[in-house]
Chains A and B, each alone.
Chain A
Amino acid sequence: MTRQMPVVDYLVIDDGPPHLAGHRCDECGAVYLERRNACAACGARTFSPTRLPATGRIESFTIVHRGAPKHVGPFVSVLVRLADGTFVKANLVGVPPEADAVDFGVPVRLVTYAAGTDDDGTEAIAFGFTYDEPTAPAEG
């Protein structure tokens, strides 16, 4: 089997279904995706690992044309508010890069895909979000 690594360390791919994991402040509960020294909200200095929900809602989007990676082409960037209130930025995948295809009303779910391979053949596994229903919405 091909060796795999997450594209960022807050994506967990080797512990059940792929999911995001954060650092939860032991004092105020603020959740951060990256390694922390102390809490921006309350100043506390200790954190505990926390598993984040896989579903959420789109808060905002853009479709980047200028400067988009050549092998990717125009892509849809979304800010997602997960079910527990944590915010994460990612691509909206599985929908055409068109404004009408983005629907704030439809919940989204985390999905993973291979985003690249290194010289040893290791795959980088990225995450994105897609609509959490069998088919894409008919209209935006």
Chain B
Amino acid sequence: MSDDIWIIGTAMTPIRRHLDRDVLDLAVEASLGALDDAGVTMRDMQVMAVGSQFEPFTFGQDVQKQIGQTGIPLYNVHNACATGATAVRSVLMEIRAGEADMGLALGVEKMTGSSPPYRMTPPKAGKVFEPEGRDGHVLATEGVLGTGQMFGVFAQTGTDYARRHGGVGFEQFAKVAEKNHAHSTLNQLAQYQRPYSLDEIMNAEMLAYPNTLPMSCPTGDGAAAVVLVSDAKLRSLDPDVRRRAVKISAAVMTTDPYDPSGFAHPDVNTLTRNAADRAYEQAGIGPEDLDLVELHDCFATAELVHYDNLRLCAPGGAGEWIDRRAPWRDGELPVNVSGGLISKGHPIGATGVANLYEVATHLRGEAGDRQIEGARVGLTHVIGLGSVCVVHILERAAS
């Protein structure tokens, strides 16, 4: 046995001005070509990295949705001219770390001409209808064929939960925002620091039922950072540093496994459940061991469904859980004592680090006015629509 890593399959497309093919067509050809070359399938892949400098958003997931959604971790890599090499390295490092034994790395760029766009394009004023894109749309479909806007999607996720489970309505969702705005009054780092009454929340401007304005995260700027070290390295550091150290007992990343509903409406539940279950297993810790949770409450509806997805409440019992104030800071399992995204704010890139800052600060006993006394174990959760989910479980250093 050695540390060697091998290439077992490879393929490339001709380099041309591919005016008649979109970027997905090229990505799929190279990906399937490499899999075929190696005699393996997407089912054999445990990690994937997709490098493209000019494709925005969750482009890698769009590739997965063409060649196989198996729920594996995915890296969308942007790194200038080293983009493709960085995608390869991402897979290599996962393998070297023992996280995976096989993975797929792809680099792709579409730089010429007007290929058929595969994403929605807005209609041009004064035109003749002509089908565009993979759905052959002739005009913008937002508001015509339902909504795909972020706040509309998360609103529907909430009413889906309400349909499937009793005791959940507008008021239960509003109570989530009431709690998070109350929590942020103790957090000087929060964008909002004033309490909102339940009445005020429910009578505020409706964005997309059932989420009103104070039930939705604001736009803001911010940054957060962490320094990570290996266990071996930590052992060489000062006792003070070791005493304040916080262990990452679980770190899990998931994407969407295939589900027939996922193409019409993003499913934020399944990948969160998969991530949570694997994190609990990795850490050897159950939800009953948690002292606090920072979860991804981009909208109040999202927080409520994640009580269930993260196994914090009884199955189907998220409405009852918020009704009896279980996730309040003085309840049985405090959730979003920072104020959450709804009140602390949501500077997109910082959010997934800011939640680690919050939990680690409590585990060190350094959270000041908002300290959860005696906190030993905490969980963080972040989700990106498209989708990707990351769950961490943190533990205070054994004293």
Which residues does A use to contact B, with CB under 8 Å? Answer: 5-10, 30-43, 45, 58-69, 72, 75, 77-79, 81, 85-91, 99, 102, 104, 115-116, 118-120, 122, 124, 126-127
- Which residues from chain A contact B129 at a C-beta distance below 8 Å? 5, 118, 120, 122, 124
Besides A34-B134, A61-B209, A65-B206, 16 other CB < 8 A contacts? A7-B145, A9-B135, A37-B24, A37-B25, A41-B69, A60-B160, A64-B149, A64-B152, A64-B207, A77-B147, A79-B265, A81-B261, A89-B146, A89-B148, A90-B145, A91-B143
- Which residues from chain A contact B205 at a C-beta distance below 8 Å? 65-66
Interface residues of B in 250-289 (CB under 8 A from A): 258, 260-261, 263-265
Closest to A4 in B: B129
- Which residues from chain A contact B163 at a C-beta distance below 8 Å? 58-60, 104
Interface residues of B in 147-170 (CB under 8 A from A): 147-149, 151-152, 155-157, 159-160, 163, 170
- Which residues from chain A contact B170 at a C-beta distance below 8 Å? 99
Per the bound structure, the CA–CA distance linking A61 and B129 in Å amounts to 29
- Which residues from chain B contact A126 at a C-beta distance below 8 Å? 144-145
Task: For the complex formed, measure the closest distance between the CB of B210 and the CB atoms of chain A, giving whole angstroms.
Answer: 7
Closest to A115 in B: B144
Instruction: Evaluate contact between B135 and A64: CB separation under 8 angstroms.
Output: no
| Given A60-B163, A67-B149; A43-B42 close (CB under 8 Å) | yes
Per the bound structure, the CA–CA distance linking A124 and B129 in Å amounts to 8
B375 at the interface (CB under 8 A from A): no
Query: Of the candidates A7, A59, A63, which one forms a contact with B208 in the assembled complex, judged by CB atoms under 8 Å apart?
Result: A63
| Given A5-B129, A33-B135; A63-B68 close (CB under 8 Å) | no
Per the bound structure, the CA–CA distance linking A75 and B241 in Å amounts to 56
Instruction: Evaluate contact between B260 and A34: CB separation under 8 angstroms.
Output: no
- Most chain B Cβ neighbours within 10 Å, of A41, A61, A68, A104: A61
Closest to A69 in B: B143
Instruction: Evaluate contact between A66 and B258: CB separation under 8 angstroms.
Output: no
Instruction: Evaluate contact between B210 and A99: CB separation under 8 angstroms.
Output: yes
Query: Of the candidates A10, A60, A115, which one forms a contact with B156 in the assembled complex, judged by CB atoms under 8 Å apart?
Result: A60
0/1 per residue, B66-80, Cβ < 8 Å to A? 111100000000000
B126 at the interface (CB under 8 A from A): yes
- Which residues from chain A contact B24 at a C-beta distance below 8 Å? 37
- Which residues from chain B contact A102 at a C-beta distance below 8 Å? 159
Cross-chain pairs A/B with CB under 8 angstroms, 14 sampled? A8-B141, A30-B260, A35-B134, A43-B43, A43-B68, A60-B156, A60-B159, A61-B209, A62-B152, A64-B147, A65-B207, A89-B147, A89-B148, A122-B129
- Which residues from chain B contact A33 at a C-beta distance below 8 Å? 135, 263-264
Instruction: Evaluate contact between A87 and B260: CB separation under 8 angstroms.
Output: yes
- Most chain B Cβ neighbours within 10 Å, of A30, A66, A104: A66
Instruction: Evaluate contact between A10 and B263: CB separation under 8 angstroms.
Output: no
Per the bound structure, the CA–CA distance linking A37 and B25 in Å amounts to 7
- Which residues from chain B contact A86 at a C-beta distance below 8 Å? 260
B12 at the interface (CB under 8 A from A): no
- Which residues from chain A contact B248 at a C-beta distance below 8 Å? none
B138 at the interface (CB under 8 A from A): yes
Per the bound structure, the CA–CA distance linking A89 and B144 in Å amounts to 10
Task: For the complex formed, measure the closest distance between the CB of A79 and the CB atoms of chain B, giving whole angstroms.
Answer: 5
Closest to B211 in A: A62
Closest to A10 in B: B135
- Which residues from chain A contact B128 at a C-beta distance below 8 Å? 118-120, 122
- Which residues from chain B contact A99 at a C-beta distance below 8 Å? 170, 209-210
B64 at the interface (CB under 8 A from A): yes
Instruction: Evaluate contact between A63 and B64: CB separation under 8 angstroms.
Output: no
Instruction: Evaluate contact between A38 and B67: CB separation under 8 angstroms.
Output: yes
Task: For the complex formed, measure the closest distance between the CB of A103 and the CB atoms of chain B, giving whole angstroms.
Answer: 11
Closest to B212 in A: A65
B136 at the interface (CB under 8 A from A): yes
Task: For the complex formed, measure the closest distance between the CB of B13 and the CB atoms of chain A, giving whole angstroms.
Answer: 13
Closest to B156 in A: A60
Task: For the complex formed, measure the closest distance between the CB of A38 and the CB atoms of chain B, giving whole angstroms.
Answer: 5
- Which residues from chain B contact A119 at a C-beta distance below 8 Å? 126-128
Per the bound structure, the CA–CA distance linking A40 and B261 in Å amounts to 12
Query: Of the candidates B41, B66, B142, which one forms a contact with A40 in the assembled complex, judged by CB atoms under 8 Å apart?
Result: B66
Instruction: Evaluate contact between A72 and B143: CB separation under 8 angstroms.
Output: yes
